[in-house]
Each structure stands twice: as structure tokens, then as C-alpha cells.
Structure 1
Amino acid sequence: MTFEPRASQSLVELDERSREIFRRIVETYLDTGDPIGSRNISRVLPMPLSPASVRNVMADLETLGLIYSPHTSAGRLPTERGLRFFVDAMLEIGDLSRGDRERIEKQVRAAGEVRTYEGVLNEASQLLSGLSGGAGVVITNKADLRLKHIEFVRLEPMRALAVLVGSDGSVENRIVSLPPGLPSSALIEAGNYLNAHIRDRTLSEAQEELERVSAANQAELDELTRRVVEEGLAVWSGASAERPGQLIVHGRANLLEDLKAIEDLERIRLLFDDLERKRDLIQLLGLADSGEGVRIFIGSENKLFSLSGSSVVVSPYRDHDNRIVGVLGVIGPTRLNYARIVPVVDYTARLVTRMTG
């Protein structure tokens, strides 16, 4: 499992006492969402330290920007910078239990046996939600979908249905305009022509191939049939540009549990608004492109969810050519159980890659 630490050197050099106090503050926050005070920390430290000494260390941690006080005379909570430091320098990430591995593999493989590629991704999203307590998210890059088959079905004299089948078994339909006077035989010819050149290519690759072939043999199609071919590709390419991917989200209700304050409710409302803007979420594909393994984005580090202050744990999955074709992961509050979620996301991404690659 690959993970990318990014903690700054000055923070890593905290002494043992400071690190242990900081750890207690963060772990309390991740467990309960509540601040913890100096007296309670002094009781659980492995070394003898008075509440006054703990307060002095907490003041230093606050100066470093690692913790803050939500209210006067309250305990301390970690800042986003503090959570990033904890994740990069102190988080102990174990491996999945055998039971978790078997559960993930059983459910995802069962979906693959009885359903389509999209069924596998849907099951992966549900699993991530169930195992993390957050929202499971999967995003597919439809723009890179490899094509298997296309055909045209006439609906009206000047309208037809273009049916495209992807190599993953997915099927999508588009309405295309037909030139006046087009015989039914031209629709069959256009479909045959496309199928001879598009199989196992993406839309952009198919367009490049058809341009090359057309330039080499202008007489291969008559004018009306050529217009059907061009119209069909134009419709699919336009749809791809407008909707470059598909979003699958499960577990929104999990995010409503254990709310601590009105501020939390507002944060979740903002997150739900983000989740409804599906086109924006396709940018999550780009979040994983620059790294090989699991990546964690905490609060404002992730521009997509900066207003809601949510965290995202994502990993890419790949096709048989080792190209990134999608991203899966977990969205939730900043107090996600990162130690558990990171290996869950990593293992699920690897399994989906094996099954769909």
C-alpha cells in the first residue's frame, strides 16, 4: 500500500512529550469529536506530568498551529494543519483483517458475476460506506470508455437512435438527426462502417482513426451515409465533454449521524450541495492522477469540499493498460477513522482494478 507523507520537518521534530499530548488530543477528537482538557490528558499520559505542565505544552502546540480552543476555558481540538501532521507523521496504518478482506472480495466479486461493470462499482461504493461510516464514492471516467459496438435505429424519417455499447458492457443511447431522403440501408452501412473502425478504441481515438481512413479513401461512403457517421460521433463526443464521468455515492445518511452542533449540520448541508454538483465532482479524477496510492485531502486542502470542511480519502483504479479510469474512496467529516479507512480504500481499489482491468 502506497501512502504519501507531507509533514514539515519542524513539526516532525516535536519532542516525545509534546507528541504524546498532541496524539491524545487528536485521538480523542477522532473517537468522539470532543475537545479534551489538560487535566484529563495528564491522567492518561504514560509519563507523570501535571495539568499545568500539560497546559504549557498545549500552548506551544497552539502556537505551532496544530491545535486550537473552540471556546474560552474549553479543551483543545486539532486544526486542519494538526490533522495533516498527525496523518503524515504519526498515523499508524495497519492491514485489513482477514474478515474485512473476505467481506470486500465476496461482495464485489458477487456483483461482478451477476451484474455489469457498473454493478461492481455500485457495490464498491456501498461497501466503502458500510465499512467507513462515511459516504462511499466512485467516479468513472466515461470519456476514456473503450467502445465495442454502435448501431442506428430509425425512429422518424429524420431522427434515429444511436445505441453505443462499451467494452465494459454499459449501454447508452443518443438521438441523432438524419439528412433528408436517407434510406434505411444507409443506417446499416453507417453502423457497419463505424464498427469496423471503433472497436476497443476510445471516442477520441475512434475519431482520429476515422479521419485517417476517410482521408485515405474518400469514396468509401456516399455523402448521406458519411453525414450519419459524423452526426453519430459528434453526438457522443459532445455528451462526453459535458458529462465526462459517472458519479456513484452511497451513505449520505451516515453523515447525519452523531452531529455535535448546528455548525455540523450546516457543514453537512454544504457537503450535500457539493455532492449534487456531479460535474464538479469529476475533478476527483484529477486528485488521484499525481499519486500512485491512497491520497488524503483534509478540509480546505480539497478545493471541492473546502466550504464544508470535509475530508476525502481516494485511490485510483485502472484498466488493463494500467491507465487510471476512475477513482473510489470515502467522503466524511475531518474526524474520519483514517487508520481504518486508508487500507479499506486501498484494498477495494486494487480489487476493482483486478476485476475491471
Structure 2
Amino acid sequence: MDAKGSLHGPTVSSPFFAPGPSLAELDERARDIFRRIVESYLETGEPVGSRTLSKGGLSLSPASIRNTMQDLTQLGLLGAPHISAGRLPTHAGLRLFVDGLLEVGDVGAAERQAIEARLMAHGRNYEDALNEASSILSGLAGGAGVVVTPVRDAGVKHVEFVALGPERTLAIMVFADGTVENRLIRLPAGVPPSALVEASNFLNARLTGRTLAEAMADLAADLARARAQLDAAAARLVEDGLAAWSGGEAEDRALIVRGRANLLEETGASEDLERVRSLFEDLEQKEQLIQLLDGVREGQGVRIFIGAETRLFSLSGSAVIAAPYMTGSQRVLGAIGVIGPARLNYARIIPLVDYTARVLGQVMNA
């Protein structure tokens, strides 16, 4: 994102990995053949042979093309799934293509309006906005949309329990940065209104001006000491409220994943299904995935991880396209992105992730 937080033009940054071949090592012929192979693979998912390239407008003989493809294979940019098959880009080849040859598209006006309307429709309900952002990406980009919820580092301003009926209450927590979070809590039958007030007062006295992470350990001890003075129903409310709010701590942050079914589309060969199965297992590794996406918070713009560049996706050979979403003052809140097979449509997904992250940041900062 640029310094002004513009909603135009994604900035793409690459994570640091051991350097592979560079474009400077390729002459014009090799670069053209390499680009055509990668573009064909990203479109079809199939290996590309020399005869296919010779019929596609290259004024070279199949033998000349094969020689160049062999050179690219020796550089580690292409690989062959079978001895007699054509060539596919390796993960190192995809990285070189994305960093040096990819022409990134733009988000169309209709999609921009749809993204803005869907995210801003949720007002200040940030939980719904985060879920919506993940759904937007899974729908528009294919693959699985993922969002890591923000680290809650703002102090608590106010806590209140509001009765919704005989057996339900809404626990409302207002933070110093203006955000509001609600949790629905079930009540035992017969809880008096005074217990709601007592529980609210207890938490306000101990939380106001402190972050949840700072106060959580002390609260448990305070509740144990104050249990004799608190009404039993109020003490139960405090306990239930603390359990509901524990999601604000870093280790319990939510990981929202939408669109897993998209990953099953266009999987025909058994090896494709095996890769998807591995990816589904990867998506269950919540802590590792959050750690990976938290790495996105350290950089500017969209970041891309391909296959073995991350330990998490080394077996499934998947790719991640992610970007941080942040406040208007450039304070990073979390990360949002798309996970899918390595042959994702990078040109389309990069600007979609970038734009959705920017709009989400505006919504969270409203």
C-alpha cells in the first residue's frame, strides 16, 4: 500500500528465500519460451510440449524449442511430471515468473463497487465484515479465502451485559479505539437484572484502560477473591464473559476460512486430489497458518508464498496470496488472502486481494 493508502495499484513484495535463477540468465528466446510455458500452465494446468509451442506462433523448430526447454530444466525453472510428457514450471519457475514477468491486472469497476458494498453493509460489526471479506475472496478469486482476525491491543473502555430475554444476555465490550464487540451468552433461569449490573460493574472496575491480554490473568485471581461478595449469578456471568472474550488474546485469535469447496473444482487426476487432500490438512494447522499470515503484517503490499517456500505448504505445493489490512494511520490489524493450488490466477487474484484488504482496512477504521 502506498503512503496515502490509495485504493489503486497493488504493491507486490516477495518474502526472502535463497535466490534462484534470475531473468538476466535468460536470453530473449529462453525468456519468451519460459513465459509461454508458464502462461499455458496457469491457464490449463497441463504440461506444455515443444510441438504445442511451435504451433502457437513461435518461429522456431520443435528441436530448437526442446533444446531451450532443456536449458530451462537444468536451471531448475521447469520440470517434467513424466518422461514423455511436456514441461511444467517448478515452484522456483513460478516465483521467477511472478516476480519478473507477470502482468498484474486491475479490479473492474463493478467488482470494486460490489466489494465496497458488501463490506460496508456490515457497519461497525467487524466480525461480520471479516467473515464477508473471506467469502468475497473465495467467490471472486476461487481457492479458499482466509482472514486472520486482529490482535486486540486497544484498551477496554466499557463493558455491559444487556438482557435479551429470560435466558440470554448480550455481553458488549467497547474498546478505546472505537471498536465494539458483542458476545451472546446463555443465562441460567431466574437471573435478576441486578446480577447483570453487578457483573458489569465488576468487569468495568478491573478492565477499563487495560487491554484484555494485560488484565486476563489478574481477573481470574480477582474473581476468586471476590466470589464471596459477588452474587452467584453475577460471578457466573463474569466467568462466562471472560470465556467469551478470551478470543482477543493472540494465541486464541480466529482464523476464518471460506470456500474450501472451490479447491475441489477441476481436480481430475489422482495426484491432483492428493494435493487437495494435503491442502485441506494444511488448512487445519491453525497456528502455523496464522504464523504465516502474521509474517505478511511485517511487509507492505501483497505477498506471495509458493509451495516449498513455506514448510506448511511444502507437501501440497499450494500458494498463498495475502496482504495486510490496516487503519488509516497505517497500523496493521491483520492479514487477508487466498490459498489454492500453485497455478492460481496470479494476475487476477493479486489486485483482488490488495483491493479487498484496503477496503477492509477502511471499514475497520470507520
Cα deviation code 1:292-330 (max 9, x no counterpart) = 111001012123332221111111112465332221110
Q: CA deviation at 1:170?
A: 2.4
Matched, 1:3 2:12: yes
Higher helix residue share: 1
Moved more, 161-170 or 255-264: 161-170
Shift in alpha-carbon separation, 1:188–1:102, aligned structure 2, 3 A: closer
Partner of 1:70: 81
For the residue of structure 1 that corresponds to 2:103, the secondary structure is coil
For the residue of structure 1 that corresponds to 2:22, the secondary structure is helix
Tell me, in whole angstroms, the C-alpha distance in 1 between the residues paired with 2:329 and 2:73: 48
Please give the root-mean-square deviation of Cα atoms over the aligned residues, in Å. Answer: 3.7
Matched, 1:33 2:42: no
Partner of 1:179: none
Tell me, in whole angstroms, the C-alpha distance in 2 between the residues paired with 1:10 and 1:66: 8
* Match among 124, 130, 139 for residue 148 of structure 2: 139
Q: CA deviation at 1:10?
A: 4.6
Shift in alpha-carbon separation, 1:71–1:9, aligned structure 2, 3 A: closer
Letter in 2 for 1:41: L
Partner of 1:275: 283
Between the two proteins, the alignment pairs up a number of residues equal to 335
CA contact (8 A) 1:104 1:127 kept: yes
Cα deviation code 1:243-286 (max 9, x no counterpart) = 53112222111110111311111111122222234344322442
Partner of 2:122: 112
Instruction: Report the TM-score, using the length of structure 2 for normalisation.
Output: 0.78
* Match among 247, 255, 258 for residue 250 of structure 1: 258
Q: CA deviation at 1:241?
A: 4.9
Tell me, in whole angstroms, the C-alpha distance in 2 between the residues paired with 1:68 and 1:190: 64
* Match among 56, 64, 84 for residue 44 of structure 1: 56
Cα deviation code 1:182-220 (max 9, x no counterpart) = xx989856633642564575313556999xxx9xxxxxx
Tell me, in whole angstroms, the C-alpha distance in 2 between the residues paired with 1:239 and 1:96: 34
Instruction: Report the TM-score, using the length of structure 1 for normalisation.
Output: 0.80
Matched, 1:261 2:261: no
- With a CA cutoff of 8 Å and minimum separation of 6, indicate the structure with the bigger relative contact order: 2
Partner of 2:349: 341
Shift in alpha-carbon separation, 1:239–1:105, aligned structure 2, 3 A: closer
Partner of 1:329: 337
Tell me, in whole angstroms, the C-alpha distance in 2 between the residues paired with 1:231 and 1:119: 25
Partner of 2:139: 130
Q: CA deviation at 1:139?
A: 1.4
Tell me, in whole angstroms, the C-alpha distance in 2 between the residues paired with 1:146 and 1:309: 41
In the TM superposition, 1:195-214 aligns within 5 A as 195=204, 198-199=207-208, 201-206=210-215
Cα deviation code 1:71-104 (max 9, x no counterpart) = 1121000000100111111111132222221221
Tell me, in whole angstroms, the C-alpha distance in 1 between the residues paired with 2:261 and 2:245: 35
Task: Find runs of 4+ consecutive structure 1 residues off by over 4 angstroms.
Answer: 5-10, 184-190, 205-210, 221-225, 228-243
CA contact (8 A) 1:141 1:244 kept: no
For the residue of structure 1 that corresponds to 2:65, the secondary structure is helix
Shift in alpha-carbon separation, 1:143–1:236, aligned structure 2, 3 A: farther
Letter in 2 for 1:11: S
Identity of aligned residues (%): 51
CA contact (8 A) 2:137 2:338 kept: yes
In the TM superposition, 1:276-291 aligns within 5 A as 276-291=284-299
Tell me, in whole angstroms, the C-alpha distance in 2 between the residues paired with 1:55 and 1:241: 56
Letter in 2 for 1:112: H
Tell me, in whole angstroms, the C-alpha distance in 1 between the residues paired with 2:243 and 2:363: 30
CA contact (8 A) 2:40 2:48 kept: yes
CA contact (8 A) 1:147 1:164 kept: no
Structure 1 residues without counterparts, runs of 5 or longer: 154-160, 176-183, 215-220
Partner of 2:65: 54
